[in-house]
Structures are given as C-alpha cells and as structure tokens.
Amino acid sequence: MEQVHEEHQDQHQSAVQDGEPEIVTEGASFVHGEPPQDGSGPPKVDSQVEVLHEKVTKQVIKEGHGQKPSKYSTCFVHYRAWTEITQHKFEDTWHEQQLLELILGKEKKEMTGLAIGVSNMKSGERALLHVGWELGYGKEGNFSFPNVPPMADIIYEVELIGFDEVKEGKARSDMTVEERISSADRRKMDGNALFKEEKLEEAIQQYEMAIAYMGDDFMFQLFGKYQDMAMAVKNPCHLNMAACMIKLKRYEEAIEHCSIVLAEDKENVKALFRRGKAKAELGQTDAAREDFLKAGKYAPGDKAIAKELRLLAEHDKAVYSKQKELYKGLFGPPPQPKPKNTNRLILLWQWLVAFLYRLFRRERQKTD
C-alpha cells in the first residue's frame, strides 16, 4: 500500500517508500477522465430505458456509486453530444480535455435536458441520454458554436465525474482564489483517503475535480503566494493520478500526468520515477532508463531508482541471451576450407601424360 503524505516534501527526497511509489503532494494542470470509445456515432446500449421526463430518457452504460446530486449541486461532467437525426457530433469535452461545470437548477436553458439526466446519476456513472428539442436548443437551434439545427433532438453520452453539495450553488468563476484552492485541496484529500482504501477509480474522480478547480485560465491569473498555494495542490493531484493509473495498468495515462508535472518542474523526482515505471511496463526500456537516470541525478543514492535500473539491465541481458540462442545455428556452421587432395592431383597428372603419349604414338604410326 502506498502512503499518502500531505504537504510540502522535498522534491529530491526518496522516490518511493518500502519499494512502492508513494503518493505525495506536489503540483500542474490538466483535466482527463477515461474517454469512451469514439466511434462514428453514439454508442449502442442494451440496458433498460429509464424515463426521467416526458422529453428525457436514460440508459446506463457504466454503474456509478454513492448518492445522486441534489438541487444547486455543482456537478462536473464529461459528455459528447450528437443531433439524433443526422448523428452529427457537435460537442466533445473528452476531446477538449475540459470538464463541464453544471450547477443543477442554475443551468443554461439549452442544458435543461442534460441537467435532468445528470441529476438522476451517481458519481462515476456513465449514461446515454435522449433529450427532446424542447429541453435542448429549442425551436430555433443554434447557429454559432455549437452548431445545432432547429428542433433537433439530442443524444448525450455523459459521465458524472463527481459533484459538490453547495446550498446556494456557486460556480468556480464566482469563488475567491482562497475558496477555489480550498475546494481543490479538499477534493485532493478525499482522493488520498480513497486511495488508501484501494478505491482507485473513485480516487481518480476526486483528483480530476480538484484539477478542474485549478484550470489553466485560473492558474494564468495567479502569482506569488497564491500561485504557490495552487501549485501545492495541483501537481500532487497529477502525481497521485499517475500512481493510480500505474496500479490500474493504464500506463499511457500515467505517462501523460507525469509529463504535465515535468513540463513545469523538470527535476521532479517522483514524476520522473513514475513515468519511468510506466514506460518500463510498456516495454519502452530505453526511454524508461533515461527517466530513471535523470531521477537518480537529482536523488543520488536512492535505492528504489537503483533497483529499477538494475531490473532494466537484467531485462536487457535476458533479451540478449534469448536472441543469441534464437539465432544460434540458424544458418548452420560456417564453411570450413577443404584440405588439398594431393593424391588426386598426381593421378590427374599421370593420366594427362599417358594420354599425350598415346596421342603422339598414333600420329607417328600414321606418318610411317
């Protein structure tokens, strides 16, 4: 079990504890979420159709957990949206890597149907919603972004990442800097607690919401102590998500989160170590070795880093031995030079002399 350490630890300290990556709080910016398969249109779902409203139905794709959000809850969702008739996809937050913040009861008019669906979902649940045009973009549609034709029924593939229960419903944009950082930090701590309980998927959802509070637009406005406060929450969430991804064998996503941290802090030992672990699992041994060597440069003598480098060396040695054995004798033994056969040469010479002698005698007899 990895340990969760809460605040400001030396960046150059041991990359792991007791041989396992430890979750620590260090900092960056990114909203991810496991994207669904992006086919040519909405996914095919066989689950039971649930009627939520005269104009809204729901089919569960993936079950969630816990309670459903109440009115004025601030919900964080990922979704894709298609017009039902043309199957034209007009929005995709997974592709844009940006969660939608939806305050139930205070949503935009065109989001009414989506809000009804989300209010009937649990955290982590993914569902397919069918929304009538009356609760979508209406009779006129929308001709700017997104481009939705008039009277278009909508299909949503939506996932409720999580939600905050706030009585009056307060958007991130209306929060003070301290409130946003505090909300993000609370989510991070909830994620750490879930990680300790091995509830990795739920922990990831908490980290995602924490990162959503620390979006690029928000971070760009910060400087000084506020920037330091935000980074002390943000980068740890990325590193903690990477640790979860490694446990879930989602190595490419782990690499992505570590790379975000390294883009801002190239000497972050834990980001280098975890990225190296993920690359090694994907068979990218040269790239993994490079990350481990860099981590070792900033944390000399670290036993965990030395162990990973030793494992890579043993792996390379095993691969070499296997290849050597595989190709051994593939083309047979090398050709050996044949010894000269002096007896054959002597016989050949004797035969040639005898032949010439007979030929000479025959010619002489003809002359006589």
Please answer whether residues 63 and 45 qualify as being in contact, where contact means their C-beta atoms are separated by less than 8 angstroms: no
Q: How confident is the model at residue 195 (pLDDT cuts 50, 70, 90)?
A: very high
How far is the C-alpha of 273 from the C-alpha of 281, rounded, in Å? 13
Least confidently predicted of 19-23, 66-70, 106-110, 141-145: 19-23
CA 315 to chain centre: 24
User: What pLDDT does 15 receive?
Assistant: 53
How far is the C-alpha of 287 from the C-alpha of 270, rounded, in Å? 16
Domains annotated for the chain, with CATH where assigned, are 16-29+175-314 (1.25.40.10), 50-164 (3.10.50.40)
Which one has a higher pLDDT value, 114 or 351? 114
The amino acid occupying position 76 is F
Please answer whether residues 225 and 195 qualify as being in contact, where contact means their C-beta atoms are separated by less than 8 angstroms: no
Whole-model pTM above 0.75?
Answer: no
- Residue percentage of the chain with pLDDT more than 70: 82
How far is the C-alpha of 306 from the C-alpha of 300, rounded, in Å? 9
User: Does a cis peptide bond (omega within 30 degrees of 0) precede residue 146?
Assistant: yes
Q: Is 286 in a helix, a strand, or coil?
A: helix
How far is the C-alpha of 75 from the C-alpha of 118, rounded, in Å? 8
**Residue 66, phi-psi category: left (phi > 0), alpha (psi -120 to 50), beta (remainder):** left
- 360 secondary structure, DSSP code: H
Q: Please, what is the average pLDDT of the chain?
A: 82
pLDDT at 220 over 60: yes
